Amino acid sequence: MFFSFVTAARRLPPGSRRLVLALLLAGPASRAQQPAPPRPLSLPEALELAHRNAPHLQAKAYQVQAAEADITQTKTQRLPSVRLSGQVSYGSTNAVAGTMLPIGTIIPSSGSLSGVNSYNAVFGSMGTALAEWSPVTFGQYPAQLARAEAARGYAQADADNEWFTQQLRVAQTYLDLLATQSLRRVREQDVRRVGTLKKTITRLALNGLRPGVDSTLARATVAQSQLALIAAREQEADRQARLSTLLGQPGATWQPDTLYNRSLPPTLAPPPATHPTLGFQQRAVELGQARETVIRRSYRPRLSLLGATWGRGSGLGYNGQTDYGLTGAAPTRFNYAVGVGLVFDLLDWPRLQAQARAENLRTQGLQAEYRQQQLELGNQATLAGQRLALAADRAREAPVQLAAARQAYRQKLALYNSGLATVVDVTQALYGLQQAEQDQVLTANAAWQAVLLQTAAAGDFSFFFTHVTP
pLDDT of residue 196 exceeding 70, the answer is yes
| Fold of domain 39-73+143-288+352-466 | Outer membrane efflux proteins (OEP) (1.20.1600)
pLDDT of residue 391 exceeding 80, the answer is yes
Rounded Cα gap, residues 112 and 94, in angstroms: 7
* Range 41-58 average pLDDT: 91
pLDDT reported for residue 35: 56
* Range 445-456 average pLDDT: 91
301-310 confidence digits (pLDDT tens): 988 998 999 8
Percent of the chain with pLDDT over 70: 90
Percent of the chain with pLDDT over 90: 42
Band (106; pLDDT cuts 50, 70, 90):
confident
pLDDT of residue 64 exceeding 90, the answer is yes
Pair 162, 57: CB distance under 8 Å:
yes
Lowest mean pLDDT among 30-39, 80-89, 243-252: 30-39
Pair 309, 336: CB distance under 8 Å:
yes
1-29 confidence digits (pLDDT tens): 443 434 444 454 444 444 334 434 444 44
pLDDT of residue 453 exceeding 80, the answer is yes
Q: What is the 3 state secondary structure string of the chain?
A: CHHHHHHHHHCCCHHHHHHHHHHHHHHHHHHHCCCCCCEEECHHHHHHHHHHHCHHHHHHHHHHHHHHHHHHHHHHHHCCEEEEEEEEEEEECCCCCCCCCCCCCCCCCCCCCCCCCCCCEEEEEEEEEEEEEEEECCCHHHHHHHHHHHHHHHHHHHHHHHHHHHHHHHHHHHHHHHHHHHHHHHHHHHHHHHHHHHHHHHHHHHCCCCCHHHHHHHHHHHHHHHHHHHHHHHHHHHHHHHHHHHHCCCCCCEEECCHHHHCCCCCCCCCCCCCHHHHHHHHHHHHHHHHHHHHHHCCCCEEEEEEEEEEEEECECCCCCECCCCHHHCCCEEEEEEEEEEECCHHHHHHHHHHHHHHHHHHHHHHHHHHHHHHHHHHHHHHHHHHHHHHHHHHHHHHHHHHHHHHHHHHHHHHHHCCCCCHHHHHHHHHHHHHHHHHHHHHHHHHHHHHHHHHHHHCCCHHHHHCCCC
pLDDT of residue 156 exceeding 90, the answer is yes
pLDDT reported for residue 1: 41
Band (330; pLDDT cuts 50, 70, 90):
confident
* Range 84-100 average pLDDT: 82
pLDDT of residue 410 exceeding 50, the answer is yes
pLDDT reported for residue 30: 41
pLDDT of residue 92 exceeding 60, the answer is yes
Most confident of 195-199, 230-234, 311-315, 413-417: 230-234
pLDDT of residue 222 exceeding 50, the answer is yes
Question: Can you give the pTM of this predicted structure?
Answer: 0.78
Domain ranges of the chain: 39-73+143-288+352-466
